[in-house]
Chains A and B, each alone.
Chain A
Amino acid sequence: MEKQVWIPFFSSFFCQLGQVYDLALRGFRAIFQKPFEKKNFWQQLEEVGVNSLPVVSLTAAFGGLVFGLQTYLAFHRYIGPGSESQGGPIIAVGLCRELIPILVGLMVAGRVGSAMAAEIGTMKITEQIDALFSLGANPVKYLVAPRILASMIMVPCLTLYGDVIGIFGGYTYNVLLMKVNKTLYLQNTLKYFEMWDISVGLIKALVFGLVIAIVGCWQGMTAEGGAEGVGRATTKSVVVASITILIMNFFLSKILPADL
C-alpha cells in the first residue's frame, strides 16, 4: 500500500499509544531475562527513592498540615466547637488514599520522569543508544527495565513514607497547634482508619510509578532533533505523566473497593 490515510490527531495518538504499549511490554519482559542489570537497578533505586526523600518530605508535611487545617476549620464551623477531634480519621484516610499518592506521583514525575527523558533522550541523539546495541547491550534491558522496576518499588515506598509524614502533619496542626484533645483525636483515628486505606494508596503508587518510568523512557527513546528535541521530550514526559496520573487516580479510586 503506497498511499497512507492520514487522520491527524487520532492516527498519531494511537501510533504513540502503540509505541508506549510496545515499550512497556519489552521492558517488562526484559525485567525477567538474565543477566540482570544490577548496577543500573541500584543506581535507579537511589535516584528515584533516596534522592526524592527531601522533596517528598516537604510536600507531604505541608500537604498534611494544610489538610489538617481545612478539616479543623470545617468541623469547627459546621459541626461546632469540640467536634474537631472527629477530623483525625478523615485526615488519615484522605491523605493515604488520595493526597499523598497524587503528590508523590506528581513530584516524582517532575523530578525523576523528566530526568529519565532527558538522560535517555541525550543518549539517543548522541547515538549512545546505538552504541549500547553495537556493544551487545539491549537498550531496553539496560536502560528501561531497571527504571521501570525501580520506580514500581520506590514510588510506593515514598508514598508510605509520605503517609507517615502527612498524618503527622495533620496531627501537628490539630493537636499541637490548635489544642484539639489528643486522646480523642487518636482514638477516632485508630477506630476508623484501616490498613486497606493505606493499601489503596500503595496500589495507586505502584501504577503511578509504572506510568512515570514508561512515559519518561518512551519520551527519551523517541527523542529526535538535537537539544531542542530533548527539551521537548523532557517537558512532554512531565505533562503526559502528570495528566495520566490524575486521570488514572480517579478511575482507580472508583474501581478499588471502599473497604475489604
Chain B
Amino acid sequence: MTMSKIKIVDLHKSFEGKPVLKGLNLEIEAGETMVIIGQSGSGKSVLLKHIIGIMKPDRGQVFIDGEEISALPDEEIMKLSRKFGMLFQGAALFDSMTVAENVAFGLRRHTRLSEDEVQQVVRTSLEQVGLRGVEHLLPYELSGGMKKRVGLARAIAYSPEIILYDEPTTGLDPIRADAINCLILELKKKLRVTSVVITHDMKTTYKVADRIAMLYDGRIIEIGKPEEIRHSASPVVQQFISGRAEGPITEW
C-alpha cells in the first residue's frame, strides 16, 4: 500500500466550546489536486491550518508523508514547513516589504542560495505568475488580483511539494479568477506538486480538481471525482453544487 501525502485522522477542533471540526478524516495522494468545498464558516480554513501545523488539533492526527505533524514541537514543524507553500485568502503579503522581498522571504529561510540566485528565482517566480517589473512596489500599490499572484509567487518560490490554496479566486473578477485557475493547473503540470484547494466557487472546483471533498457539519461527507460529485445522491451535496437556498442546508 502506498503512503498518502497527507492523511488526516479523526480531527476535532473547537473554538470557545463551539465545535468546528468533528472527527474529520481525509487522505490526499501525492501529485493530485484535492478541492475541498463547503460553506463559508464550515471550517475549511481551519482544516488547512491544521495541515500546515499552524493550529494544533484538540483530538486526532495529521500526517505529512507519514510523519505526524500534529504531535511535533514548533521547531520541528518549522523545518517541515519547507514542504508547504500556502496562498492565503487575502494574500497576506508583508506590508512593510517590497514585492521582491516578499517573494524572497521564504527562499532566504528555506534555502541556501546566494543573493544573486535569490534575485534570479524571485524574477522567475514572478514571471511564472505573469508579473513583470513589479519587484519594487509595495503591497498597497497592487490590485487585489496582483496581490494574490504575488502571494502565489511567494508560495512557489522555494519549490514546495504541497501547495495549499485558501479561496484562490474569491474577490476576483471572472477573468482574473480563471487566470488563477489556469495557474493552478500549470503549476501542477510543471512542478508536479500536490495541491489542496479550498473554495466555494464551483467553477474553480470543476476546472482544477482531480478529486472533490465536501466538508459539512465538521466532517467530510462525500469525496470523489468531479463526475461522481456532480451525480451525487446526497441532497446536501446537490444543494451546495447547484447553489440553491432551499434544501437540507438551512444554516446560512
Contact between chains at A126 and B90 (CB < 8 Å): yes
Instruction: Report A's interface with B, CB cutoff 8 A.
Output: 4, 123, 126-128, 130-138
- Using A4-B17, A130-B49 as known contacts, say yes or no to A135 and B110 having CB atoms under 8 A apart: yes
Residue of A nearest to B166 (CB): A127
How far apart are the CA atoms of A246 and B154 in the complex, in Å?
45
Q: List 15 A-B contacts (CB under 8 A).
A: A4-B17, A123-B94, A126-B92, A127-B89, A128-B94, A128-B95, A130-B54, A130-B86, A130-B88, A131-B88, A131-B94, A134-B85, A134-B86, A135-B105, A136-B82
The smallest beta-carbon distance between B20 and chain A, in angstroms, is: 15
B48-83 CB contacts (< 8 Å) to partner A: 49, 52-54, 74-75, 78, 81-82
How far apart are the CA atoms of A4 and B75 in the complex, in Å?
31
**Residues of A contacting B81 in the complex (Cβ-Cβ under 8 angstroms):** 133-136
Q: Can you list, as one digit per residue, whether each of B136-157 has a CB less than 8 Å from chain A (1) or not (0)?
A: 0000000000000000001100
Instruction: Knowing that A135-B110, A138-B74 touch, tell me 19 more A-B residue pairs with CB under 8 angstroms.
Output: A4-B17, A123-B94, A127-B92, A130-B54, A130-B88, A131-B88, A131-B92, A131-B93, A133-B78, A134-B52, A134-B54, A134-B84, A134-B86, A134-B106, A135-B105, A136-B109, A137-B78, A137-B109, A138-B78
B195-240 CB contacts (< 8 Å) to partner A: none
Contact between chains at B92 and A128 (CB < 8 Å): yes
**Residues of B contacting A135 in the complex (Cβ-Cβ under 8 angstroms):** 81, 105-106, 109-110, 154
How far apart are the CA atoms of A4 and B105 in the complex, in Å?
42
How far apart are the CA atoms of A135 and B54 in the complex, in Å?
11
- Using A4-B17, A137-B105 as known contacts, say yes or no to A131 and B86 having CB atoms under 8 A apart: yes
Contact between chains at A127 and B109 (CB < 8 Å): no
- Using A127-B89, A131-B88 as known contacts, say yes or no to A136 and B106 having CB atoms under 8 A apart: yes
